[in-house]
């Protein structure tokens, strides 16, 4: 059965869908903070010269990168609360918190590879100069390596975070009231799916396209200043 576009219906439901978009954006932004922080720690751990440290980090990164985000969200939300840890401890969090953690951890593993590429791009002479000056390890990283490596990682990180924003609607599968779940809910109640889903897609374009252009700007700026 074909239906015609109803502007009145679309405008009526727009505020509700916009509210769902705020939830999606919030989950993405918090997820980015987690990914940036955890990703750096994972990258540093993987670079450790001690194999008993670097191997578990490398295994964790590859495991997370090799499994779908949706399965990870399902495990965190449905399976993890059923596991009883020593002391009778169980872990159960809300759907929104699960989505934030899932996005953060999943993309932290990708971010760690971007950081690692940034570390490798620092000229060998910089490492040797730090060693010759007998700088502490913490000083070498904080004042020599990271200020050079992180800017070079930004373009790749930006692409990952645009991808995170587009993956955030997967939260609908575990009950997060984001933009996709809101649009689906409206469609289920009114039996009109064209307007809410099209509106959700339009809102994604309004955010993801400017974000993609911003990433391209960062890429050009970093390339020019390198």
Residue 2 lies in a domain: no
pLDDT at position 226 is 52
For 164-218, write each residue's pLDDT tens digit. Answer: 999 999 999 999 989 999 999 999 998 889 999 999 999 999 998 998 888 888 7
Complete DSSP assignment for 111-165: HHHHHHHHHHHS-HHHHHHHHHTT--HHHIIIIIIHHHHHHHHHHHHHHHHHHHH
- Least confident among 29-43, 125-139, 148-162: 125-139
The answer as to whether 220 is a domain residue is yes
Q: Look at residue 38 and tell me if it is in a domain.
A: yes
- The CATH number of whichever domain residue 140 belongs to comes to 1.10.3720.10
The whole model's pTM is what? 0.89
Give a yes or no: residue 111 inside a domain. Answer: yes
Supply the pLDDT for residue 33.
Answer: 96
Task: Give the total number of structural domains in the chain.
Answer: 1
Q: Read out DSSP for 7-75? A: HHHHHHHHHHHHHHHHHHHHHHHHHHHHHHHHHHHHHHHHT-S-HHHHHHHHHHHHHHHTS-HHHHHHI
| 170-181 residue pLDDT tens | 999 999 989 999
Give the domain range for residue 61. 7-225
Please give the torsion angle defined by the CA atoms of residues 54, 59, 61 and 62, in that order, rounded to the nearest 10 degrees: 140
Asked whether residue 148 is assigned to any structural domain, the reply reads yes
- 1 assigned to some structural domain: no
129 in a domain, yes or no? yes
Closest by CA position to 81, among listed 69, 63, 95, 70: 95
In a domain, 201, yes or no: yes
CA angle 216, 211, 76 (to 5 degrees): 120
């Amino acid at each position: 059965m074909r239906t015609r576009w109803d502007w009145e219906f679309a405008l009526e439901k727009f505020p509700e869908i916009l509210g769902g978009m705020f939830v999606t954006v919030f989950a993405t932004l918090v997820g980015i903070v987690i990914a940036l922080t955890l990703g750096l720690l994972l990258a540093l751990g993987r670079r450790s010269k001690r194999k008993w440290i670097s191997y578990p980090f490398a295994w964790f990164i590859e495991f997370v990168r090799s499994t779908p985000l949706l399965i990870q969200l399902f495990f965190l939300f449905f399976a993890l609360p059923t596991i009883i840890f020593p002391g009778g401890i169980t872990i159960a969090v809300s759907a929104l918190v699960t989505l934030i953690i899932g996005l953060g951890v999943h993309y932290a593993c990708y971010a760690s590879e971007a950081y690692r590429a940034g570390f490798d791009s620092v000229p060998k002479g910089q490492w040797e100069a730090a060693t010759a000056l007998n700088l502490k390890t913490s000083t070498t990283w904080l004042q020599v390596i990271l200020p050079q490596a992180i800017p070079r990682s930004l373009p790749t990180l930006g692409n990952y975070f645009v991808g995170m924003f587009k993956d955030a609607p997967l939260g609908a599968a575990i009950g997060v009231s984001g933009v996709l779940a809101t649009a689906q809910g409206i469609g289920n109640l009114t039996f009109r799916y064209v307007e809410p889903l099209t509106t959700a897609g339009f809102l994604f374009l309004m955010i993801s396209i400017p974000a993609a252009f911003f990433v391209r700007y960062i890429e050009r700026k970093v390339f020019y200043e390198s």
